Structure 1
């Protein structure tokens, strides 16, 4: 599935298709509110791509480690739903509080109703309806506003994507974690930087900064540069650059 920030990624495609100066604008709630049907149709294209994507070795490795009981929780910013495909259970504060994967930004394979919070799996009929830029009625409350379960920037309906309870769970997890791994994150997007800062703040408030180290696992040099240039207390960061050939 296409990355958001890559050269031919989702932001670039959005910019070309919608003829907007910055493709990131399509992923804002204000743009979604103005051109809802068109954005839903674009997301339907993304879903088709997600359906064709396959789990990478990293997904299978995560599932294997989770099966061994070595992962307290897997927080993902991906919206492709591939963690669930490889058998990892999905967290929900009410329905499945012990789920291993927390989808921070939602799941492109699902629809959600902002009115009643009902979550529905995507069907071929629903995809075709959205590509035709038509609304889909919620089967639970009959509201004509089912939307893709994907978090947008400044999303006024964000609580139906990722409830605030997730941060309570994060604090509980950090209380017992012995290490936090940031795997494959470039820290180009503001959300990932904010999550990094939040984890550090929570660990600091718990007095666990030394007891629970964080490691960034990304072969790209940009990841290290982005995070170092984004934090204000650089002196507290202990960077170990490990490379293999």
Structure 2
């Protein structure tokens, strides 16, 4: 479906909705300069890096883990990234549309919050903080040492904790976060938008199935085919930063 055909249909969906859920993937952030992970040239094409980003590797090799983690997630692409037109369009829609908007994101970059979105469930965690698994102390990622393995400096009944910290992103071998809340939000939604995700990553790929309860319309906007195109009511091909502002401006 092209944009001219889709605009009146999406406008009708949104004008009929008071509770909108938006599920976003890597394609939402690539236009901010953040590389994707799962394309042929993505970061996870390097199996050694993929294995290093596992909770098992952090547990057994914390020093090597933090070297690989900084190289990837604290790289200039992440640190210098800013919200793009798609992020800003969603935030503006929430502020001015008179609707409740819940964003479920597979991204860890925090760009939705930077743009001003208020209800954001980060399924794969975030880059803002790191936590001590031993005592639960939380640290601002920006305050951690830049060239050594960060350890917990909290004082416990046994003295200084000293345990290596773990970043608050979901590593391989860990469960996603907020999954039950995400499923409930879709069950109660009037409309579900999937933006910039091929819907191949489990278990986030199963979330649209929860719309069975609400029977809400499903709108997919992505540059390439997705696993849920056949189930969608409206499918648009293209860049989020180009299409989404025009779609939302048509209301």
TM over 0.5: yes
CA contact (8 A) 2:129 2:138 kept: yes
Query: 1:40–1:83: structure 2 CA closer, same or farther, 3 Å change rule?
Result: same
Deviation for aligned residue 1:180: 0.9
SS at match of 2:75: helix
**Aligned residue in 1 for 2:65:** 39
Q: Is residue 2:75 matched to residue 1:66? A: no
**Aligned residue in 2 for 1:11:** 44
SS at match of 1:73: strand
TM-score by length of 2: 0.67
Query: 1:7–1:197: structure 2 CA closer, same or farther, 3 Å change rule?
Result: closer
**1:1-245 paired onto structure 2 within 5 Å:** 1-12=34-45, 14-15=46-47, 20=48, 23-45=49-71, 46-49=73-76, 50-68=78-96, 69-89=98-118, 100-124=119-143, 126-128=144-146, 131-132=147-148, 134-139=149-154, 142-155=161-174, 158=175, 162=177, 166-188=178-200, 190-191=201-202, 194-200=203-209, 202-204=210-212, 206=213, 208-209=214-215, 212-221=216-225, 223=226, 226-227=227-228, 237=231, 240-242=234-236
Deviation for aligned residue 1:43: 1.7
SS at match of 1:78: coil
Query: 1:167–1:106: structure 2 CA closer, same or farther, 3 Å change rule?
Result: closer
What is the aligned-residue RMSD (CA, Å)? 2.8
Query: 1:183–1:138: structure 2 CA closer, same or farther, 3 Å change rule?
Result: farther
* Count of equivalent residues: 199
Paired with 2:115 and 2:153, the residues of 1 have a C-alpha distance of 28
Deviation for aligned residue 1:121: 1.4
Paired with 2:123 and 2:129, the residues of 1 have a C-alpha distance of 14
Query: 1:227–1:33: structure 2 CA closer, same or farther, 3 Å change rule?
Result: farther
Q: Which structure has more strand as a fraction of its residues?
A: 2
